[in-house]
């Protein structure tokens, strides 16, 4: 078995549902075999590592520790789902205080123990903020810190496949940008249902499989995507973990030089029209990190993205007001790349 990278991958929060699934997916997808599993819950991470050993993946080199420095030391990739998950009725933003404090510590630990890391993927919520806080405290260039932001797009793909009663892979070009929260922008210009433009279907010009989709249906689908995570919590009694685990592993695969990752990822934005936030954008993800670009869309889609940006920006200001993030003018003193 050949893995895309033999570099060390540190998983923070590895006793948890997402973290342990990231470890499993890294091995199962042939992405990485050297995995350091860290969690402050020592017995839990020992158990999670034992489970991975019991999978008997070839050439797996999996260690566990309750010492963050030990896990981070020499890491090529740092993936963190180490933080509280949402419970029923909570928004991602409700998690803000506790998880922003964890993110600040994570960033400082990376600065101390893994300053040469190639890519950091922040998964714990609210990821737009925890990713930004981690970046500010890590001292890393913005190209080397990203967030898992693909799930809203994969949920849109699955939802459309269900609507048209076709296989999921026949729905292409599903992209949501902006916040990974209650405000996101659904860009449907490039969405194709079995090769047919979704915009043409919504305009009443086309059908697929004898199925139509009007603007009311689109509004319902949009709401279902925004509430996609809450649906999993309602159905399973806990927040999603298989899909974030798998998609995070695929992000590492692309960053390590393997198969490309076409879903949106979190990127730190500066310049016009979005300033000093981390949010989901179209990106190139590869060995040099994350490079973002503005999405193409119509006026309504851009207005949705502006609204999503305003929401992330307000959350950033709230985080600053709560004393969990320095004022933006101070970021350069902990991270020279943000000066």
Query: Do the Cβ atoms of 185 and 175 come closer than 8 Å?
Result: no
Q: How far is CA 42 from CA 3, 39, 45, 48, 49, in A?
A: 28, 6, 5, 10, 11
Interface residue with ligand NAD, options 41, 139, 199, 276 (CB under 6 A): 41
| Cβ proximity to ligand NAD, 16 vs 264, nearer residue | 16
| Cβ proximity to ligand NAD, 213 vs 283, nearer residue | 283
Query: Do the Cβ atoms of 208 and 199 come closer than 8 Å?
Result: no
Size of the site for ligand NAD (CB under 6 A): 31
- Footprint on residues 214-273 left by ligand NAD (CB under 6 A): 239-241, 244
- Quick one: tokens of 53? 């050993």
Pairwise CA distance, residues 308 & 135, whole Å:
20
| Cβ proximity to ligand NAD, 67 vs 214, nearer residue | 67
Contacts with ligand NAD, 136-155, as mask; x by CB under 6 A? ------------x--x----
Applying CB under 6 A, the span of 75-83, 198-206, 270-278, 316-324 interacting with ligand NAD comes to 75-83
**Residue 98 CA to chain centroid, in angstroms?**
19
Applying CB under 6 A, the span of 76-84, 113-121, 136-144, 256-264 interacting with ligand NAD comes to 76-84
Residue 39 binds ligand NAD (CB under 6 A): yes
Query: Do the Cβ atoms of 58 and 1 come closer than 8 Å?
Result: yes
What is the number of the residue whose Cβ is closest to ligand NAD? 16
Nearest distance, CB of residue 298 and ligand NAD, angstroms = 26
Applying CB under 6 A, the span of 38-46, 185-193, 272-280, 325-333 interacting with ligand NAD comes to 38-46
Residue 82 binds ligand NAD (CB under 6 A): yes
Nearest distance, CB of residue 251 and ligand NAD, angstroms = 11
Those residues whose C-beta lies under 8 Å from the C-beta of residue 145, and which sit 6 or more positions away, are: 119, 120, 122, 131, 134, 135, 138, 268, 278, 290
Residue 127 binds ligand NAD (CB under 6 A): yes
* Residue 239 CB neighbours (<10 A): 20
- Radius of gyration from C-alpha coordinates of the chain: 20
Contacts with ligand NAD, 154-193, as mask; x by CB under 6 A? --------------------------x-------------
Query: Do the Cβ atoms of 77 and 119 come closer than 8 Å?
Result: yes
Query: Do the Cβ atoms of 293 and 269 come closer than 8 Å?
Result: no
Pairwise CA distance, residues 18 & 124, whole Å:
9
Residue 25 binds ligand NAD (CB under 6 A): no
- Quick one: tokens of 300? 């309504």
Interface residue with ligand NAD, options 4, 9, 10, 12 (CB under 6 A): 12
Dihedral (CA of 98, 104, 108, 109) sign? positive
Nearest distance, CB of residue 249 and ligand NAD, angstroms = 13
Applying CB under 6 A, the span of 26-34, 36-44, 57-65, 328-336 interacting with ligand NAD comes to 36-44
| Cβ proximity to ligand NAD, 57 vs 241, nearer residue | 241
User: For residue 323, what is the DSSP state?
Assistant: T
- Taking alpha carbons only, the member of 65, 76, 95 closest to residue 26 is 76
| Cβ proximity to ligand NAD, 131 vs 201, nearer residue | 131
Pairwise CA distance, residues 89 & 234, whole Å:
9
Residues near ligand NAD (CB under 6 A): 12-13, 15-19, 39-41, 44, 81-86, 95, 99, 102, 123-125, 127, 148, 151, 180, 239-241, 244
């Amino acid at each position: 078995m050949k893995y895309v990278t033999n570099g060390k991958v540190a998983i923070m929060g590895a006793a948890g549902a997402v973290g342990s699934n990231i470890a499993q997916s890294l091995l199962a997808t042939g992405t990485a075999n050297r995995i350091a599993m860290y969690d402050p819950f020592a017995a839990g991470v020992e158990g999670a590592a034992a489970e991975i050993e019991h999978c008997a993946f070839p050439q797996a080199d999996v260690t566990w520790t309750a010492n963050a420095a030990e896990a981070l030391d020499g890491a090529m990739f740092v993936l963190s789902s180490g933080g509280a998950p949402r419970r029923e009725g909570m928004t991602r933003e409700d998690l803000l205080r506790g998880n922003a404090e964890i993110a600040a510590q994570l960033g400082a630990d990376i600065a101390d123990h893994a300053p040469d890391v190639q890519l950091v993927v922040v998964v714990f919520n609210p990821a737009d903020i925890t990713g930004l806080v981690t970046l500010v405290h890590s001292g890393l260039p913005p190209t080397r810190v990203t967030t898992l932001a693909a799930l809203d797009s994969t949920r849109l793909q699955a939802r459309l496949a269900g609507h048209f009663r076709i296989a999921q892979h026949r729905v292409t070009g599903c992209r949501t940008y902006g916040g990974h929260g209650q405000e996101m922008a659904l860009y449907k210009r490039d969405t194709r249902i079995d090769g047919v433009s979704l915009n043409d279907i919504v305009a009443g010009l086309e059908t697929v499989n004898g199925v139509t989709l009007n603007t009311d249906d689109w509004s319902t689908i949009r709401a279902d995507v925004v509430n996609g995570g809450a649906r999993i919590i309602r159905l399973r009694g806990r927040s999603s973990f298989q899909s974030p685990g798998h998609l995070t592993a695929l992000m590492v695969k692309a960053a390590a030089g393997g198969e490309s990752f076409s879903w949106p990822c979190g990127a730190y934005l500066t310049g016009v029209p979005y300033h000093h936030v981390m949010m989901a954008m179209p990106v190139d993800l590869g060995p040099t990190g994350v490079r973002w670009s503005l999405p193409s869309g119509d006026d309504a889609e851009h207005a949705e993205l502006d609204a999503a940006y305003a929401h992330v920006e307000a959350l950033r200001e709230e985080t600053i007001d709560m004393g969990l993030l320095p004022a933006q003018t101070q970021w350069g003193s902990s991270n020279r790349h943000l000066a």
